[in-house]
Amino acid sequence: MKKLIEAAIAVTKNSYSPYSKYPVGAAVLMKDGTIITGVNVENASFGLTNCAERTALFAAVSQGYKKEDIVAMSIAAGEKEIGAPCGACRQVINELVPKKASLYLTNLHGKHFESTIEELLPFSFGPEDLNV
């Protein structure tokens, strides 16, 4: 998973974060070995900002990948402390990433820990709750 964590850290250089000055990178590992990345892209109208986690996951979907294709995800943010996904991103991860997939949260220097969406979003709401 070192390569996945390094990809998330490396892509932060592409972040467009002139307002928060808080670059975030995300990398998603697919079963076929492909790593898809994303960054946060801010906007002067703050509500139009998109987080790195959603950018990477939406890119994976747009490239034809499915939930079951995802093996793991790494999210890189924070100089000293490890950043964590916001609530909106946790909800999207819950929807698009397998429940048991590893999530590696890391700061920009590689300090990290492993988690799952079930640990980050207990009592989540998902498709199974809609009786679809």
* Active site amino acids: 53
CA 36 – CA 43 distance, rounded (Å): 23
CA 62 – CA 68 distance, rounded (Å): 15
Could you identify the residue written with the tokens 């390094």?
Answer: 6
CA 69 – CA 65 distance, rounded (Å): 6
Could you identify the residue written with the tokens 């996945």?
Answer: 4
